[in-house]
C-alpha cells in the first residue's frame, strides 16, 4: 500500500503545483521553463554532493558525484533529463542526478542537450550521440557507462542506444529509463485508462511537446516510435514507471518488444505512482526504494563482463 506521506504529498502538491506546471494551454514554453528553473533553485542537494561544470564540444553539462563515489571511479551514468524535449536542464535535474549517483555508486554526466522549438528534431538525438562519443574519446570504456533518462530523456537515451547499435559502435553496459516518453503518437491504451488518474501529464501536454519537437520538420511521428524499432542486440534494459501514468503503455510495449528480441528487459511498475515520482526521493519512501532498485541494477551491470554484441 502507498505510504501515508506519499498520499498526502500527492493530494497537496502533485495534483496542484506540478499539474499546473505541466499545463501549456495558458503558458508559453518560455514561461514553463522559467517556472521549472525557479523550482530548481529551491533544491537542497544531498550533503557532500559535488558538481562540476563541463563543456561537451559546445554543449553545457555537469558532472554530479554523490559523496561516497570516489573521484577515481570511472563508472559513469550518462543522464538525459526530461521535459518533453522543450524544457529541463542540468539545474532542474541536479538533485535527481545526485540521488541516482548515490544509488548507482557512479558519477553522473548530465547534459544540456538542445531543446525545441528552437532546435527541433534531430538536434536532441544528435546531442545524445555526441555525449556518448565524448565520454569514449575521454577514455571511459563503453562497459563502464550506463545510459539513462526520465520522460523525454528516457526516449533520448533509447534513441542514442539505437543509433550506436545501428552505427556499429560499442554499446554501454546498461540502459535505464524512468517513466520514458517513447512515442509522439498518443495511441497507447493508458492514454485512456490512466487519463483520470495521472496527476502530472495530460494528452494535450504531450501533443504540445510533440508539435514543438517535430512541427515543420516534415518527419512523420510514426517513424520515431522507439518501441516499434528493431531492438535486437541491445544491452540490459531497466524500465521503471508509475502505475497511474498515461505513458504506462510506452513502457509496457517497449519491454514486451525487447524481450521478444532477446533483450534482458526488466519492468518495474510502482502502484499508484505518477510520472517521474523518483524526483521526490527527498520526501517519498517509495521514490527512495525505487532508486535503490535502479541502483542495484546498474551496479550489477557495470560490474559484470560484457555480454552483448
pLDDT at 11: 81
Active-site option among 179, 249, 251, 275: 275
DSSP string over 220-248: -GGGG-GGGS--TT--EEEEEEETT-TTH
What's the rounded Cα separation, in Å, for the pair 253 and 154?
A: 14
Per CATH, domain 4-302 is 3.30.70.100: no
The strand pairing partners of 109, in sequence order, are 63, 78
Name the residue among 305, 278, 308 with its Cα closest to residue 79.
278
What's the rounded Cα separation, in Å, for the pair 147 and 174?
A: 6
211 is catalytic: no
275 is catalytic: yes
**∠ CA(248), CA(256), CA(233), 5° rounding?**
120
3-state secondary structure of 119: coil
What is the Cα gyration radius of the chain? 18
Instruction: Sketch the domain layout of the chain as residue ranges.
Output: 4-302
Confidence of residue 305 (pLDDT cuts 50, 70, 90): low
Give tens-digit pLDDT for 145-157. 999 999 999 999 9
Active-site option among 101, 131, 151, 249: 151
Residue 309 pLDDT exceeds 50: no
Give tens-digit pLDDT for 160-202. 999 999 999 999 999 999 999 999 999 999 999 999 999 889 9
Active-site option among 245, 249, 251, 286: 245
Give tens-digit pLDDT for 238-297. 999 999 999 999 999 999 999 999 999 999 999 999 999 999 999 999 999 999 999 999
Residue 87 pLDDT exceeds 90: yes
Amino acid at each position: 500500500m502507498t505510504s501515508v506521506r506519499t498520499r498526502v504529498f500527492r493530494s497537496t502538491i502533485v495534483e496542484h503545483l506540478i499539474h499546473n506546471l505541466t499545463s501549456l494551454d495558458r503558458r508559453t514554453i518560455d514561461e514553463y521553463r522559467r517556472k521549472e528553473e525557479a523550482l530548481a533553485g529551491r533544491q537542497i542537494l544531498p550533503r557532500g554532493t559535488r558538481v562540476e561544470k563541463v563543456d561537451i564540444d559546445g554543449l553545457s553539462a555537469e558532472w554530479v558525484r554523490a559523496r561516497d563515489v570516489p573521484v577515481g571511479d570511472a563508472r559513469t551514468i550518462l543522464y538525459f533529463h526530461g521535459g518533453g524535449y522543450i524544457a529541463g536542464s542540468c539545474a532542474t535535474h541536479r538533485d535527481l542526478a545526485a540521488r541516482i549517483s548515490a544509488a548507482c555508486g557512479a558519477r553522473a554526466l548530465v547534459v544540456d542537450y538542445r531543446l525545441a522549438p528552437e532546435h527541433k528534431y534531430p538536434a536532441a538525438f544528435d546531442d545524445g550521440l555526441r555525449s556518448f562519443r565524448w565520454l569514449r574519446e575521454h577514455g571511459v570504456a563503453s562497459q563502464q557507462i550506463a545510459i539513462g533518462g526520465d520522460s523525454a530523456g528516457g526516449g533520448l537515451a533509447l534513441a542514442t542506444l539505437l543509433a550506436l547499435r545501428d552505427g556499429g559502435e560499442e554499446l554501454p553496459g546498461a540502459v535505464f529509463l524512468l517513466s520514458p516518453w517513447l512515442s509522439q503518437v498518443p495511441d497507447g491504451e493508458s492514454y485512456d485508462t490512466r487519463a483520470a488518474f495521472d496527476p502530472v501529464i495530460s494528452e494535450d501536454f504531450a501533443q504540445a511537446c510533440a508539435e514543438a519537437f517535430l512541427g515543420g520538420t516534415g518527419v512523420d511521428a510514426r517513424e520515431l516510435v522507439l518501441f516499434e524499432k528493431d531492438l535486437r542486440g541491445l544491452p540490459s534494459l531497466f524500465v521503471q514507471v508509475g502505475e497511474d501514468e498515461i505513458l504506462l503503455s510506452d513502457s509496457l510495449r517497449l519491454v514486451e518488444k525487447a524481450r521478444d528480441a532477446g533483450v534482458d528487459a526488466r519492468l518495474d511498475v510502482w502502484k499508484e505512482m505518477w510520472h517521474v515520482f523518483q524526483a521526490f526521493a527527498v520526501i517519498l519512501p517509495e521514490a527512495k526504494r525505487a532508486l535503490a532498485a535502479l541502483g542495484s541494477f546498474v551496479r550489477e551491470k557495470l560490474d559484470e563482463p560484457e555480454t552483448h554484441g
